[in-house]
Structure formats: structure tokens, C-alpha cells
Amino acid sequence: MKKITEIVWELAQPVAEENGCELWDVEYVREAGQWYLRLYLDKEGGVDILDCEAVSRKVSDLLDEVDPIESSYMFEVSSAGCERQLKRPGDFARFMGSPVLVKTYRNRDGRKEFAGVLAGYEDGDVLLDMGGAEPERFAKADVAMVRLRVEF
């Protein structure tokens, strides 16, 4: 049986593409006692409110037709943002050489956040160039999240 996020991805991806956008991610999460279904979009030059509105209206209609979620939920469509999370191997390949922030589950050298340049992605392990002689390796099991980091 497919997960809700997979079903929604299949419904939303063609709609995003019809509107000149890329579907970046689908989340179905519980926050403060309420379920949220979120679509994150990307587009060359940036996603604007009109892109979100167009995708939201069409996908909302499709969700009403297919009805993949039995309980009530809040539906949101937004830009993936400039500090988006990297989750899939393709995300890491696309942003190789970009500044990122790696968050770990456990302390490492007394901290859980590490900033640097994405230097590699091997079988889920993240290689981070933090200015040392060699990139630091973060094992897949230790990585809570990797997201792009905007430098000013």
C-alpha cells in the first residue's frame, strides 16, 4: 500500500509541471494535534504566490476527487525556500558545492550543528568541507537533517 505522500506526489507533480514548477517535497505531518499536508515547489527564478495559488487550487480539487486522506487536515502549498532541506540523492547531487548546515542527532565535538560546503554524498553519508585538510564524514545514521545555508 502506498504512503499518503507518494499518492499526493503522483497527483501533484503533473500539476506543478503544468504551472512551470518542480515539486520539491510532500510532507504529511502532525503538529500541535493537527495534521498538515504540505507541498513545496521550486522554480527557476523563484516561486511566487500566484504559482502556489494555481497549484493549490488544482491539487485541492484532485485531492477531493481521489480522497486519499480519511481524517481532516490543513493543506498548504509554498516555496521550498532558499534554505530548503536536502533529502533525496538527487537533491545532494544538484547542490554539490553549496553551503549547507548539517544537524546531527547526538553531540559531536560538543555540538549538533555543522556549517560547511557540501563535498560529497555516498550511500547516505554526507561529506562536509569545513575548511580542514579533508572533508568531515557524517554517517547517515547520525544525520538528523541537511539543509541549504544562505551566506551573507
CATH of the domain at 26: 3.30.300.70
Range of the domain at 105: 89-148
Tally the domains of the chain. 2
Quick: pLDDT tens for 44-92.
999 999 999 999 999 999 999 999 998 999 999 999 999 999 999 999 9
CATH of the domain at 118: 2.30.30.100
Quick: pLDDT tens for 14-57.
999 999 999 999 999 999 999 999 999 999 999 999 999 999 99
Specify the pairing of strand 99-108 against strand 74-79: unpaired
Q: What is the pTM of this model?
A: 0.85
Question: 93 with 74, same domain?
Answer: no
Residue 125 has pLDDT above 80, yes or no: yes
Question: 125 with 101, same domain?
Answer: yes
Give me the numbers of helices (H) and strands (E) for the chain, helices first please.
3, 8
**pLDDT at site 115:** 96
Q: Which of 85, 79, 83 is nearest to 144 (CA)?
A: 85
Residue 112 lies in a domain: yes
**pLDDT at site 31:** 95
Q: Which of 23, 52, 79 is the last residue of a domain?
A: 79
Question: 94 with 75, same domain?
Answer: no
Residue 117 lies in a domain: yes
Dist CA 28 CA 8 (whole Å)? 10
